Amino acid sequence: MTTPNAVLSNLGAIDAAHHIHPFSDMKKLNAAGTRIIQRGEGSHIFDNHGKKYLDAFAGLWCVNIGYGRREIADAVFAQMNELPYYNCFFGTTTPPTTLLAEKIVAHAGPNINHVFFTNSGSEATDTWFRMARVYWAHLGKPTKTMVIGRRNGYHGSTVAGASLGGMKYMHEQGALPIEGIHHIGQPYWYAEGGDLTPAEFGLKVARELEAKIDELGEDNVAAFVAEPIQGAGGVIVPPETYWPEIKRICAARNILLVADEVICGFGRTGSWFGHQHFGFEPDLAPVAKGLSSGYLPVGGVLVSDRVAKVITSTDFNHGYTYSGHPVCAVAAIENLRILEEEKLVERVRDDIGPYFAKSWSSLLDHDMIGEAQSVGLMGGLQMAFDKKTRQRFEKPDDVGTWVRNKCIEAGLIMRATGDRMLASPPLIITHEEVDFMTSTLRTALDAAWKELK
Ligand SMILES: *Cc1c(COP(=O)(O)O)cnc(C)c1O
């Protein structure tokens, strides 16, 4: 949409008057003024003053193929004219819906052959949450209803999503978590590993799952959910001992393993899915974000044969008006076609991922940087007050916000979670753009170190 200049110059005031933003303190936001993003091209976005930013966050972890892809706009336009909407409720489907399901499972493991469509990652969470309970009920184990998540995990913002996530500041609002949801620790070695090696710590936190299942009773637990790499929690890459132990425990205690692939899916880790990177197969896997590169809202749950066999044997009383929306499906199909034809997942694995890792970890020589983790094009950079002792700043949130704002001033969009800087750029980002990201970040860190030390 081309907004007339007269309207644009007044947009901040209109926004302050009428628009409540997600996850925002509106009083503070309106005092500071909102940033208006008007245009995108490749890895860059432009605000209403024409200022250019490198978007090292791919929107919100999602614009994997970059901005400004005409192919998607054209395909969406054609589908809008042919059939803008039809539902999948009463024994019907549309061609793009069905073809998208086929295209998604082609990239999943041999035991994943079904998809249930949603419009977002949060809805995908609500979907698998119900599906897991229904699965056990159909198998004659109706007491297996509890679900275990992790502290500092993120699974969306609906009631089930916020409950399963382990964000304290979300639980504090709206009387969450709901009943039947429990949490164990996270594999965040830098902050919580103490004197253990990362490998020892990985095993220790994985075994919290075993202890929690035994405390609740195996007959009462339906599933465990985790992101292969915690995203919103700070791009926390688990020690390599972690996932094999989780896999072992879920199998030994007969509970479903749910991998939240909303960020890790569709190439971000250099594999099609994060669980493939770590070498395990989940029973259920919610997806969204990179599925359509954010061009239109679409998500889903990948369902393994184990669960599909049970769920498809009788009624599953669940669905959304827009489950399998044909226009969103077309956008996703085109997005997957681009990922495939341009070999972007392979590019992340073999070329830009390793380049990013090298550039990212070059910041480790900075006095303020204690750890630089990355997998594919997902990076978490740990800031520290004293990197020798892993002592952190007194007000971690302030440090992150300070550095992030400095980067934005310099034309680089990054995110901060507490005292970790997060990057998740489009999969098409160039080597030169990665260099710009790292050098801009270094300049911001230099300034922060002077200011905050
Ligand atoms: C973003 C996210 C979600 C929620 O997806 P929405 O589309 O915002 O509802 C769920 N899980 C993870 C891991 C996410 O990063």
Nearest to 422 by CA among 434, 409, 413: 413
φ and ψ of 82, to 5 deg: -80, -50
Residue 299 CA, closest ligand 1 atom number: 7
Residue 263 CA, closest ligand 1 atom number: 15
- Position 310, amino acid: V
Residues with CB under 6 A from ligand 1: 61, 120-122, 125, 154-156, 227, 231-232, 260, 262-263, 288, 299
- Asked, as a colleague might, if the bond just before 177 is cis with ω within 30 of 0, I would say yes
Residue 7: the pLDDT is 78
> How far is the centre of ligand 1, averaged over its atoms, from the C-alpha of 133 (Å)?
21
- Position 320, amino acid: Y
∠378-384-386 over CA atoms, to 5°?
Answer: 145
Parallel, antiparallel or unpaired: strands 412-413 and 378-383: unpaired
Go through the domains of the chain in sequence order and give each one's CATH number.
Answer: 35-65+343-452 (3.90.1150.10), 71-341 (3.40.640.10)
What is the rounded CA–CA span in Å between residue 115 and residue 305?
11
pLDDT, averaged per 10 consecutive residues of the chain (453 residues), comes to 77 95 96 95 96 98 98 98 97 98 97 98 98 98 98 98 97 96 98 97 98 98 98 98 98 98 98 98 98 98 98 95 98 98 98 98 97 98 96 92 97 97 98 98 97 83
Residue 6: the pLDDT is 76
> How far is the centre of ligand 1, averaged over its atoms, from the C-alpha of 298 (Å)?
11
Residue with CA nearest ligand 1 atom 11: 155
Parallel, antiparallel or unpaired: strands 44-47 and 52-55: antiparallel
> How far is the centre of ligand 1, averaged over its atoms, from the C-alpha of 155 (Å)?
5
Q: Is the pTM of this model over 0.95?
A: yes
Residue 8: the pLDDT is 77
> How far is the centre of ligand 1, averaged over its atoms, from the C-alpha of 234 (Å)?
14
Q: To test ligand 1's pocket by mutation, which of 262, 264, 269, 424 has the most ligand atoms within 8 angstroms of CB? A: 262
Residue 3: the pLDDT is 77
Residue 289 CA, closest ligand 1 atom number: 7
> How far is the centre of ligand 1, averaged over its atoms, from the C-alpha of 25 (Å)?
20
What is the rounded CA–CA span in Å between residue 69 and residue 265?
20
